[in-house]
Amino acid sequence: MENVNNSNEYDSYLVDHVKSYMVTEFLGRGQYEKTSFKSLEDATSYKSKRLSDKPLARVIVYGLSKPPHAIKSISIAIN
């Protein structure tokens, strides 16, 4: 792993190793709808569409990062 001095550098490091994106919408207590995308553009476009259809929806885009030091994927909020 590269020399990381603070949390912002670690976040940037994770973003550099993102392999795919997930849009997650909160549907209710313990219920979520997850939609997977290969590109950030597709994920943010889908999020915008969901918010235009349902302005009060709680939707977030996560990047699924697979840095060299990790065995499993690490999710990081993108927007």
- pLDDT given at position 2: 62
Sign of the torsion formed by the C-alpha atoms of 39, 41, 47 and 50: negative
Q: Evaluate whether residue 21 is within a structural domain.
A: yes
Total domains in the fold of the chain: 1
- pLDDT given at position 79: 81
Q: Evaluate whether residue 10 is within a structural domain.
A: no
* Res. 19: pLDDT tops 70: yes
- pLDDT given at position 34: 96
Q: Evaluate whether residue 5 is within a structural domain.
A: no
Contact 23, 50 (CB under 8 A): yes
> For the residues 64-75, what does the mean pLDDT come to?
92
Q: Could you give phi then psi for residue 74, rounded to 5 degrees?
A: -120, 125
Task: Count CB-CB contacts under 10 A for residue 39.
Answer: 10
| Domain with 43 in it | 17-77
Contacts 24+ apart (CB under 8 A), 47-54: 47/23, 47/79, 50/23, 50/25
Task: State the pTM of this model.
Answer: 0.85
